[in-house]
Amino acid sequence: MTATMSQCLMNMVQTDYGIGDYQSAIAPRWCSGCGDTAILTAMQKLCRDEQLAPEKTVCVSGIGCASRLPHYMNAYGFHGIHGRALPIAEGIKIRRPDLNVFVTTGDGDCCSIGAAHWLHAIRYNMNMTVLLHDNNVYGLTKKQASPTSPKGLKSNTTPYGAALNPLNPLTVTLGVANVSFVAQAVDWIPDLLYDILQKAYHHKGFSFIRILQRCPNFMDHHFDEAVRDPLKTRILTHADGLRLKPEISRIYKNQETHDPINMERALALAAMQEELPVGILYNNPSVPCYDELRAGERPSTPGLVETVLNEEFDKVGIWPQSQPTPQAGE
Amino acid sequence: MTSDSSQPIAQDTPLPAAGSATGAKTAMRPAEVIHEHIIEIVSDSGEGAQRCGQSLASIAARSGMGIWTVEIIPAEIQPPPRSVAGASGNRVRMAAHKVTNVGDQADLVIAFNEQVLLSRLRAGEIKQGATILLEDMWKRDAHQPIADAYADVCAEIRAGGYRLIEVPMEAECQKYVPDPRKGKNMFVLGMLCSIYSLDEELAASQVKLTFIKKDRKIIDANLELMAAGRVWANDNLDMHYRIPAPPVEKPQVVTNGNAALALGVVASGMEVCAMYPITPATSASHYLSSIFEKVGCVVHQAEDEISAATFAIGASYAGKCAVTITSGPGLSLKQEAIGLAVMAEIPLVLIDVQRGGPSTGLPTKVEQSDLMAAIFGSHGDAPKVVMAVDSIEDCFYSVITARKIAETFNMVVMILSDAALSTAQQPFDRPVFSADWLAPPVNQSAVPPDAKPYDWDERTGIATRFIPGQPNGMHCLTGLAHDRNSRVAYDPKTNEEGLINRTRKLAALQKTLRLAPVFGDEEGDLLLIGWGSTRGAIEEAVTALRQEGHKVSSLHLKYLQPMASGIDEVMGRFKKVMTIENNWNDPLSDPLINSDNRRYSQLALLLRSRWLVDVDCWGKSHGQPLKPAQIKAAALAKLEQA
């Protein structure tokens, strides 16, 4: 970050950020054993490793346990309203390309109340990183079924078991026009979570990570099978994708080389039932970004505003007879 | 006043040059000088009556006349032809003086078929004895029911005391173009130019401007048709009027309300408009879309109204004050986001071009009934600024003011316009650009150590906003109750502190507001109070009443929340006070209604509750702009009441 360094030196602002520089004064108030903690740690590590200036970093969220994350980051945070994190983030980004925008959202927030925004955010493909904390249940409102809850889940709103099959955020995302980056991570393999987050951050466009995340209170033991049996996890590797550390490679032997431009295979992986794909399912860096498409040719200046206003006034102008009317013939 | 519009005025005004139309076979009759006329041109959708009316209005305005035009719009995109529901066109009020409203009934109507004409007659839009020029091709229609229908309506019109002139418009046009459907409107425009003695060169230059993007051949064909219409009218009609207008002294512009709003957005320095299409607000964003990118800004068509509002909030949070433009149902959807902006104290300008409601209501029709939703909408206590535009010119300047208030007070500012202003056209002095209109550049300087994001000023309740990018300003903004450090806090004291300060900003703004002067005498028998688009009609009614010796005045409120101080004093100087509003109130004539259960018009309710004053109300929810004659009659009835 040379540019930042020289700028910072001039301004005598801190240049070398440690992990503590991204921790706010508020201690996380998630339940003990909550997967959100691992996601927060990965975020803070990423900021440190990329040396993101806290003032240039914005964490946007909706409502839910996951959406409390911005409070725990020392950055600009926007804890919004239920389901609307994405359009808020889009508004931030549309004229502020200098800001690093992260969105944290839960399965209810993103896939239920915010579903329309989610689909269109994929379509807009704005340059931001989206972390879907998916624990398959509503936590903050104390256990109701979420759109990703497994069929049969007993909850406060489904005391006899959830009636419907769960929505699959990965296949849905992959099915939307302009999709450019889709990955899946799990909170219990923090190294991979971090690597995936880093890849997502470096992707230009809308990078979407579904993070399976444990809720110790309302979905106790829900992911136990996947946590205990490494062979249930299929790690996606590629020369341009994740490079596994030896210790990860040793534990998670079920690996597949997957070229993330291969949509067909990505969809097949996303739909897998028996195994859990972890890694980058799809990555297409060539999809145009809405923020760039709508960036405008010239920056707004008072002179420009005056010129354009006068052009418009000319079109509907009435002039005193002493003044000539603009020529209409062109 | 239209009631005496056909009365000649001082005859010493020089008459226009006779025979100015080319090729006139007969000498031009001398023009009868009149103060004003209301002209309606109605056709099936797609036959060009709207363009004809707009062009007529532009020519009149450029001649120096006061004009007000209103679109006559069918509810469907393409209604069945020759149907009463299908009337599409334009009403043009032209006068020797400034015109501020739609006026009462039409003096002259040109209709392309008898069915669209019927719709205007049945709506009571045409003055008794008015002249009606009707396309006569239908009487020769091969399909007998059509010919019969035409004959029936003609008989009805004549029996009704109107002056009917059948005009072979299509037959005449066929002499010049193969398809009269494309061009009949220009023939009609030529007729109108003859009838109202409009300058030939001016008319030609306006037509060239209208078709500026078209092929030369098309422009020439239209000019030929217009000349033909003028000649035909000269030769065949005995009507010839002149509206003596002082020539314009200062450069002016003619736009409709929605275009003026869009131009105001550009002039205000806002950089982002997030919207979702909804009638009648959409044309403002259409117009803005065509120019906003030229100044480096963006119109974002969001996936829904909620997204539009939150997108605008995000942009504003990041330092680029944003606007969202909507209408009734969209306002409802945006209410939760509005609450967020109130709680987080993010500046947001929201333009609500009102239409009839509730629900999808009357999408293309006029009503001003979102006042309560604007002031009290969202949940909890969500103070926001509400202002209403009262003229086309006001549409332009109000946006600039709204942006400034929004950013000064970190508040939501709602601008209420309505369908009456959205498509109505009026000339006003051409604005002279000022760099002061624009938003200041985004502040990215470091925040002083220990500064707090919600350090509410004890006096005003205003806190300095920290914008992403400002070092030391990092904090998490939230829609939850929070303390001065933006930390979530549920304790009663902190909650109350936030409530006090968010409310206090309204009081601080109120101290800066000045009440508009009373229109008419400062005291009298009756005070009419209005808000929004009804201003012109109310003041015209007041003028007429005062000319008849009645002690009636009016007061028009620009700010509805907060209201400027002094309203109670003004009300106290009048024996009776009544609001005039284009929204619902229970009529006392209903046997079920009495003072115990009457629902008052929205402003009346606000005034009554605030000052414990007996404010009566009169209004209509008939989907049309209020007319001066209706208001005058209501005021007279109120004066006569015991």
* Predicted complex ipTM: 0.95
Alpha-carbon span A111 to A325, nearest angstrom: 57
Contact B114, B150 (CB under 8 A): yes
Contact B81, B225 (CB under 8 A): no
Beta bridge partners of A78: A60, B477
Between CA A24 and CA A76 the distance in angstroms is: 10
Mean pLDDT of all residues in chain A? 93
Cα gap B286→A22, rounded to integer Å: 43
Residue B533 CA to residue A164 CA, distance in Å, equals 52
Q: Is the pLDDT of residue B541 over 90?
A: yes
* Nearest of B108, B121, B109 to residue B159 by alpha carbon: B121
Q: Do A79 and B478 touch (CB under 8 A)?
A: yes
pLDDT band at residue B466 using 50, 70 and 90 as cut-offs: very high
Higher-pLDDT residue of A133, B83: A133
User: How high is the pLDDT of residue B29?
Assistant: 67
pLDDT at B472 (0 to 100) = 95
pLDDT at B41 over 70: yes
> Which residues, in sequence order, are CB contacts of B159 under 8 Å at separation 6+?
none
Are the beta carbons of A84 and B253 separated by less than 8 Å? Answer: no
pLDDT of res. B21: 38
- Local confidence band at A326 (pLDDT 50, 70, 90 cut-offs): low
DSSP β-ladder status, A276-283 and A181-186 = antiparallel
pLDDT cut 70: percent of chain B above it: 95
State the Cα–Cα distance between residues A316 and A292, nearest whole angstrom. Answer: 33
Q: What is the C-alpha to C-alpha distance for residues B234 and B19, in angstroms, rounded to an integer?
A: 8
Q: Where are the alpha helices (DSSP H) in B123-183?
A: 144-159, 169-173
Contact criterion met (CB < 8 Å) for A55 and B249: no
Nearest of A205, A42, A199 to residue A133 by alpha carbon: A42
Residue B356: what residue type?
G
Task: Report residue A320's pLDDT band, with 50, 70 and 90 as the boundaries.
Answer: confident
What was the pLDDT predicted at B639? 98
Q: Is the pLDDT of residue A3 over 80?
A: no
If phi over 0 gives left and psi between -120 and 50 gives alpha, with beta otherwise, what is residue B161?
left
Which among A74, A87, A323 has CB closest to B251? A323
Closest-CA residue of chain B to A90: B311
Nearest by CB to B469, from A74, A98, A329: name it.
A98
Instruction: Among A73, A91, A310, select the one facing B274 at the smallest CB separation.
Output: A91
Helical H segments across A55-206, by residue range:
69-72, 85-94, 107-108, 115-124, 169-174, 190-202
pLDDT at B9 over 60: no
Residue A329 has what pLDDT?
A: 42
**CA–CA dist B248, B66 (Å, integer):** 10
Are A55 and B474 in contact (CB < 8 Å)?
A: yes
A216 pLDDT tier (thresholds 50, 70, 90): very high
Amino acid at B141: D
Percentage of chain A modeled with pLDDT above 70: 92
CB A91 within 8 A of CB B316: yes
Q: Is B74 exposed, middle or buried (0-12, 13-18, 19+ CB in 10 A)?
A: buried
Determine, for residues A318 and B254 on separate chains, whether the beta-carbon distance falls below 8 Å. yes
Q: Is the dihedral of CA B174, B179, B181, B185 positive or negative?
A: negative
What is the mean pLDDT of the segment spanning B562-573? 98
Please report residues of B whose CB lies closer than 8 A to that of A316. 253-255, 259
- For A250-281, how does the pLDDT look when each residue is reduced to its tens digit (9 = 90+)? 999 999 999 999 999 999 999 999 999 999 99
- What are B112's two structure tokens? 């392309």
- Identify which of A91, A302, A305 has the shortest CB distance to residue B315: A91
pLDDT at residue B5 above 50? no
Q: What is the pTM of this model?
A: 0.93
* Averaged pLDDT of chain B: 93
Rounded Cα distance between B348 and B414, Å, is: 8
Which of B4-18, B199-213, B294-308 is most confident?
A: B294-308
A160-184 pLDDT per residue, tens:
999 999 999 999 999 999 999 999 9
The per-residue pLDDT for B4 is: 40
Closest-CA distance, B211 to chain A, in angstroms, reads: 9
- pLDDT > 70? residue A41: yes
Is residue B25 pLDDT above 60, yes or no? no
pLDDT tens digits, one per residue of B251-280:
999 999 999 999 999 999 999 999 999 999
Residue A165's CB: how many other CB atoms inside 10 A?
A: 10
Confidence band of A327 (pLDDT split at 50, 70, 90): low
Q: Which two tokens stand for residue B311?
A: 């997108």
Side chain identity at residue B61, one-letter code: A
Indicate the range of B504-508, B534-538, B622-626 predicted with least confidence.
Answer: B622-626
Chain A residues with CB under 8 Å of B312 CB are 91
Q: pLDDT by residue (tens digit) across B176-206?
A: 988 878 889 999 999 999 999 999 999 998 8
Q: Do B336 and A91 touch (CB under 8 A)?
A: no
